[in-house]
Amino acid sequence: MGATEVTARILDGKATAKAVRADVRALAERLTAAGHRPGLGVVLVGDDPASQVYVRNKDRAAEEAGFRVETRKLPATTSQAELLAEIEAFNADAGIHGILVQLPLPSGLDERAAVRAISPDKDADGLHPESVARLVMGESGFVPCTPAGCIELLDRHGIEIEGRRAVVIGRSMLVGKPLAQLLLARNATVTMCHSRTTDLPAVCREADILVAAVGRRELVRGDWVKPGAAVLDVGINRGEDKKLKGDVAFDEVAAVAGALTPVPGGVGPMTIAMLLSNTALAASRLAGIEGH
């Protein structure tokens, strides 16, 4: 076998996200017909260019899925009280089922307080402490979109989770910690790794499912991966050449792994799809209509 030979099935996140969005659209149509059109409320403060792009993409995807979308664009000079008032207005709006406050907020605004102000019943990003508690306690609730997207990618490619060894590198509240909980809830045996883990390559070699959510370009090398393992690359790193690279050395790992997500076009596209799915499921819960 040549060193650059690809053995891994490449998991196409774009195609999978499209399939998720089609399912969400079908659910949204049923809900709308029953008088419960899903609604997404978005709050964007300031003029961070990356946030503007993210919000535009989310708005467009939600509209394509047939949602009502309300976006509040507030100036960087917005006070905390004004921000909280916008969130409260969405909380009180019965036609809004999912709320997200685009992070990061401009300096001077309290992100934690903003996230806590979102009703846990509308917490589309799954970052409210009550959503975190529900996840840990195994109760139904909102799950952060990127980890939810990782599970969806595994499920839609028929990759078994139960009983398998999963290793998650990275312990952020946004990705690593919720993903470890989701894998645990699906009966994987989960190990969490981080910047202080001793002999990270040896731990990774035990994984049947290996997830890298670190933010270090090509950290995971071919000899860190058990032959046949499923490898999910969450990392988004822009190199000096401006090219997007993941946390996984793609060519090396593709020659060892059984399945691998590319960057771009792997986990990334799943995030928005899961935001829509979260919101549509919230609307269906409220309407008493079964989701997918």
Whole-number Å distance between alpha carbons of 55 and 65: 15
Q: Is residue 57 a contact residue for ligand NAD (CB under 6 A)?
A: no
What is 118-175 written as a DSSP string? S-GGGBTT--SHHHHHHHHHT------HHHHHHHHHHHHTT---TT-EEEEE---TTT
Smaller CB separation from ligand NAD, 171 or 226: 171
Task: Report residue 254 CA to chain centroid gap.
Answer: 23
Instruction: Using CB under 6 A, pick the residue from 17, 175, 211, 281 that binds ligand NAD.
Output: 175
Q: Is residue 16 a contact residue for ligand NAD (CB under 6 A)?
A: no
Site for ligand NAD in 126-165 (CB under 6 A): 146
- Spell out, one character per residue from 213 to 252, where the chain touches ligand NAD: x when CB under 6 A holds, - when not: xxxx-----------------xxxx---------------
User: What size, in residues, is the chain?
Assistant: 292
Mind telling me the catalytic residues?
Answer: 58, 102, 125
How many CA atoms, within 13 angstroms, populate the side-chain half-sphere of residue 230? 16
Q: Is residue 174 a contact residue for ligand NAD (CB under 6 A)?
A: yes
Whole-number Å distance between alpha carbons of 194 and 229: 20
Min CB(270)–ligand NAD separation in Å: 7
Q: Is residue 11 a contact residue for ligand NAD (CB under 6 A)?
A: no
Whole-number Å distance between alpha carbons of 275 and 59: 11
Q: Is residue 170 a contact residue for ligand NAD (CB under 6 A)?
A: yes
Q: Is residue 194 a contact residue for ligand NAD (CB under 6 A)?
A: yes
Whole-number Å distance between alpha carbons of 218 and 249: 4
Whole-number Å distance between alpha carbons of 55 and 52: 5
Q: Is residue 181 a contact residue for ligand NAD (CB under 6 A)?
A: no
Whole-number Å distance between alpha carbons of 86 and 43: 8
Q: Is residue 271 a contact residue for ligand NAD (CB under 6 A)?
A: yes
Q: Is residue 100 a contact residue for ligand NAD (CB under 6 A)?
A: no
Buried b (16+ CB within 10 A) or exposed e, 169-199: bbbbebbbbbbbbbbbebebebbbbeeebee
Count of residues of this chain found to bind ligand NAD when the rule CB under 6 A is applied: 24
Site for ligand NAD in 195-214 (CB under 6 A): 195, 197, 200, 213-214
Q: Is residue 177 a contact residue for ligand NAD (CB under 6 A)?
A: no
Residues that bind ligand NAD (CB under 6 A): 146, 169-172, 174-176, 193-195, 197, 200, 213-216, 234-237, 267-268, 271
